[in-house]
């Protein structure tokens, strides 16, 4: 499998090099040159596979040639046997033909564990073989950070630096990052917002001089293809559990960086019948405004009760645009330059917008409506949604086209991580799971830094080259 950049002007890479990269040298994102295709018969033959074996079927074509088949299966077995539910990604029914796919049974209680637990093992596998050490730099609005730290804390050849917006993640989220012990783990609380953190990460991939040519910079955000690859699996798993691929499914996906829903789009491209994909956003609704009005305009970031989705610029949307623009890298580079300039309102060509609308619906949910949905679903079923998932459920109910098709909302996190929303909706806080019961008493470690690239880069260099 070869990978190409969305901006058409960077070398083709193997999976191994893509894993060890963030952005392509032309500023684009890597995508597979050819998308693996599965027939309905082949997908149907996977119906009774446990999650780990299904994951191997879906993931192996992306890593073939770089990761040995048996080694991949071993990693997958290790990763998903550590999850707190034997089904790994169980479905919870909340109405007739309406489900929540629970993606929060991993160690950090959010969907990020599905990919980041695997990414840590893949890094170990590749770095041991290459005798290399790397520096991970990631930005988080709350969930990626702890999942990345948990996934890589045991990696011998990795120093990890996670930037989160100071005071703008929940207490549980912060503590899940700052209480993990390890000389190779660094939490940076930046005095700014998620987008500033993400911009600093992207700028650092563009110019890595601060690492003196001695270390590679590796991404743990969904700009790293390995993240998307592992997230595709649960679309297949949930569909197979509800009678797919013999009947189509619909998905509603709480969306920020467009990684999780892009994984759904990939599953569809790979052959899984998906009738509807709904982009569900909070009030940081740049994608909904683009889809509904054809106006791409980045508004100032709003701080909401769904902090993980407080993202103004949605990184992975570029991967979709690449396909919409017929994989024409030069055209995309021009479009991205206009979008990233954030000066004028940018519109897509009408035919491209039509393609996007044929693939996706979209809906934006404000805080009051998020809270009301949590209350409604609890009233109907006794099931407490996390607020991000509630956004997905609300969007699913508003946008659903065909009630005969199962509607699956991705349950992206556990409500215990989001006290503000749970209390505002009038519920008692659920208990932290066993492995986190003493979280609030654990000692925290983090450094508060200004949102200034040079300061952050010198902090990273200083702690990377400490001996």
Ligand X SMILES: Cc1ncc(COP(=O)(O)O)c(C=O)c1O
Ligand Y SMILES: N[C@@H](CCOP(=O)(O)O)C(=O)O
- The structure tokens listed for 328 are 């024409």
- Measured CA to CA, the distance from residue 366 to residue 314 in angstroms comes to 18
Does 308 bind ligand X (CB under 6 A)? Our answer is: yes
Write out the two tokens for 147.
């999942």
Taking the C-alpha atoms of residue 200 and residue 206, their distance in angstroms, rounded to an integer, is 10
Distance CA 311, CA 303 (A): 9
Measured from the CB of residue 463, what is the shortest distance to ligand X in angstroms? Answer: 26
Q: How far is the CB of 362 from ligand X (least distance, A)?
A: 12
Q: Does 308 bind ligand Y (CB under 6 A)?
A: yes
Query: Would you list the DSSP string of 339-378?
Result: HHH-SS-B---HHHHHHHHHH-EEEE--HHHHHHHHHHHH
Q: Which helix (H) or strand (E) holds 332?
A: helix 329-341
**Does 222 help bind ligand Y (rule: CB under 6 A)?**
yes
Exposure on the CB side of residue 123, measured as CA atoms within 13 A: 32
Rounded to whole angstroms, how far apart are CA atoms 151 and 134?
15
Supply the minimum distance, in Å, between the C-beta of residue 22 and ligand Y: 11
Q: What angle do CA 97, 307, 254 make, to 5 degrees?
A: 25
Stretches 88-96, 249-257, 288-296, 455-463: which one binds ligand X (CB under 6 A)? 249-257
Specify the 3-state DSSP secondary structure of 193: coil
CB of 138 to ligand X, least distance (A): 12
* Residue 277 interacts with which of ligand X, ligand Y, none, CB < 5 to 8 Å by class: none
259 binds ligand Y (CB under 6 A): yes
Nearer to ligand X, 32 or 411 (CB): 411
Applying CB under 6 A, among 152, 193, 412, 464 the residue interacting with ligand X is 412
Q: Closer CB to ligand X, residue 211 or residue 422?
A: 422
* β 30-32/91-95 pair status: unpaired
Restricting to residues 94-133, which ones interact with ligand X according to CB under 6 A?
A: 110
Based on the residue annotation, tell me whether 112 is a catalytic residue of this protein.
yes
Taking the complex as a whole, how short is the minimal distance between the CB of residue 404 and ligand X, in angstroms? 27
283 in contact with ligand Y (CB under 6 A): no
Residue 197-216 contact track with ligand X, rule CB under 6 A, x = bound: --------------------
329 scored as a contact of ligand X (CB under 6 A): no
Residue of the chain from 222, 224, 238, 283 that contacts ligand X (CB under 6 A): 222
Instruction: Name which of ligand Y, ligand X, none residue 413 binds, using a CB cut-off of 5 to 8 Å depending on partner kind.
Output: ligand X
- The single residue of 33, 74, 86, 112 carrying the catalytic annotation is 112
Determine phi and psi for 142, rounding to 5 degrees: 145, -40
Does 151 interact with ligand Y (rule: CB under 6 A)? no
Alpha-carbon distance values, 458 to 16, 235, 454 (Å)? 28, 41, 6
What are residue 86's phi and psi, to 5 degrees? -65, -30
Contacts with ligand X by CB under 6 A: the residue count is 15
Residues labelled catalytic: 112
What is the binding site for ligand Y (CB under 6 A)? 140-145, 221-222, 256-257, 259, 308, 315
């Amino acid at each position: 499998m070869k990978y190409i950049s969305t901006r058409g002007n960077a070398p083709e890479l193997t999976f191994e090099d893509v894993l060890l990269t963030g952005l392509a040298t032309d500023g684009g994102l890597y995508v597979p040159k050819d998308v693996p295709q599965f027939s309905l018969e082949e997908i149907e033959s996977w119906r009774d596979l446990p999650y780990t074996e299904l994951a191997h079927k879906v993931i192996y074509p992306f890593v073939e040639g770089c990761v040995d088949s048996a080694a991949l299966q071993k990693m997958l077995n290790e990763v998903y046997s550590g999850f707190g539910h034997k089904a790994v990604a169980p479905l919870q029914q909340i109405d007739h033909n309406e489900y929540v796919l629970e993606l929060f049974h991993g160690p950090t209680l959010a969907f990020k564990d599905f990919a980041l637990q695997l990414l840590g093992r893949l890094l170990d596998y590749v770095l041991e073989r290459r005798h290399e050490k790397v520096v991970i730099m990631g930005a988080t609005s709350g969930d990626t950070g702890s999942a990345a730290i948990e996934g890589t804390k045991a990696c011998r050849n990795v120093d990890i630096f996670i930037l989160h917006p100071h005071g703008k993640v929940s207490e549980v989220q912060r503590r899940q990052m700052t209480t993990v012990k390890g000389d190779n783990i660094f939490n940076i609380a930046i005095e700014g917002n998620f987008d500033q953190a993400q911009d600093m990460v992207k700028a650092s991939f563009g110019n890595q001089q601060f690492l003196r040519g001695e270390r590679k910079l590796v991404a743990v955000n969904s700009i790293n293809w390995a993240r998307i690859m592992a997230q595709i699996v649960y679309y297949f798993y949930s569909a197979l559990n509800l009678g797919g691929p013999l009947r189509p499914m619909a998905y509603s996906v709480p969306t920020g960086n467009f990684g999780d829903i892009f994984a759904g789009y990939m599953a569809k491209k790979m052959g899984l019948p998906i009738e509807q994909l709904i982009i569900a956003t909070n009030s940081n609704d740049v994608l909904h405004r683009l889809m509904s009005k054809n106006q791409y305009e980045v508004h100032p970031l709003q701080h909401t009760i769904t902090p993980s989705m407080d993202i103004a610029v949605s990184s992975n949307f570029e991967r979709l645009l690449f396909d919409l623009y017929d994989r024409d890298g030069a055209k995309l580079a021009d479009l991205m330059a206009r979008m990233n300039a954030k000066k004028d309102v940018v519109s897509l060509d009408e035919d491209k917008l039509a393609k996007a609308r044929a693939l996706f619906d979209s809906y934006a949910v404000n805080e009051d409506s998020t809270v009301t949905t949590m209350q409604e679903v609890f009233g109907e079923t006794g099931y407490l949604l996390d607020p991000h998932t509630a956004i997905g459920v609300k969007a699913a109910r508003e946008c659903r086209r065909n009630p005969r098709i199962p509607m699956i909302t991705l349950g992206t996190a556990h409500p215990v991580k989001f006290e503000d929303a749970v209390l505002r909706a009038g519920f008692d806080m659920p208990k932290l799971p066993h492995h986190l019961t003493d979280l609030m008493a654990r000692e925290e470690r983090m450094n508060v830094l200004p949102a200034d690239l040079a300061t952050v880069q010198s902090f990273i260099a200083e702690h990377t080259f400490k001996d």
